[in-house]
Amino acid sequence: MKLYTRFLIGNQNRYSGVELARVSGVSNMAHDAVDRWLASAQRTPAQLWQYTCSMVDRATGYLICDDTLVDKRYSRQNELARKQYSGNEHGLVNGICIVNLLWTNGDEYVPIDYAIYQKEYDSLTKNDHFKNMLDTAEKRGFSPRCILMDSWYASVENLKHIVRKDWHFMCNLKSNRLVSVEKGTYLSIADLALADRQVRQVWLKEFGSILVCKLVATNGDITYLATDDLSLTDYAVFTSHFEQRWKVETFHRGIKQTTGIEKCKSIKAASQKTHVFSAFVAFVRLERQRLKSSVSWYEQKALIARLATANYLANA
């Protein structure tokens, strides 16, 4: 595992068993040995916790849930991949969907759990994975400041699942979600009289009292935010908490650009799962080093390439 995760960090574009065999420094290492290890290692998301448990403060911080698509558009026979919607591409892309749970205190990026979405095999929806990961986090002793997620995970069932743990949530709501300011009368949140920078208490249909506000982008797009924490009546404080949700987007970009998570060539499900797990461990290693040295994930990768280039120029 250590050799493979270091290889994912050190390599720049060829994430294959053949390439690892060439650069490993292990005598008589064959690429078949790498392939066999990937297929048989049987790493699971639950094992990620042993790499990250010492990095988090379970009594504070935020837990952020979101999913991302590992692009496999050129791997049609991949056992884990299927056509799924990609937010980046705004359309269907062949890929592996991963639901992630990230812990942050505002400065750190620590993935504590993930699940590979395969509803056709395990009958679990993304929302099922979301609730399962929150249950696991509760068993591990987490007491977060807030659970952050986008509107996909903001169903009434999910919101109730969170508050039953005595946790708070913050999310954005779709514009057609029904709220009430007068008992028995509902309107879509888009039709709610909501002034700029106003925080208003309303009744979310089938849930209960929440606070809502809206964010207006420079292009005029409106995002409606909601929380069950009725103490967040100050607009600036409210929105500052929600801004932490974007940490998961930074994490998604980072793990894709620095660990080769999308680059495994194997079509076997077991091998892909081991590779994905290894990519998470590689990212954790990069994050530990970033916290220690203040060198970004990307610069750590660049330093490796720079050293190799300098060595080549010195000896060419």
Mean pLDDT of the chain: 93
Per-residue pLDDT, averaged over 65-73, amounts to 94
The predicted-structure confidence for 115-167, as pLDDT tens digits, reads as follows 999 998 899 999 999 999 999 999 999 999 999 999 999 999 999 999 999 99
What phi, psi does 173 have (nearest 5°)?
-115, 145
Assigned token pair, 316? 């060419």
pLDDT band of residue 59 (cuts 50, 70, 90) is very high
pLDDT at site 252: 97
**Contact indicator for 102, 247 with CB cutoff of 8 Å:** yes
pLDDT digits (tens, 9 = 90+) for 20-57: 878 876 666 776 788 888 889 889 999 999 999 999 99
From CA 60, how far away is CA 189, in angstroms rounded? 31
161 contacts 134 by C-beta, under 8 angstroms: yes
Q: Indicate yes or no: pTM above 0.85.
A: yes
Q: What CA–CA distance (Å, rounded) separates 26 from 1?
A: 14
3-class state of residue 167 by DSSP: coil
Contact 199, 234 (CB under 8 A): yes
Contacts of 221 (CB under 8 A, 6+ apart): none
Check if the beta carbon of residue 105 is closer than 8 Å to that of residue 133: no
User: Per-residue pLDDT averaged across 274-279, rounded?
Assistant: 96
Q: What is the pLDDT of residue 293?
A: 97
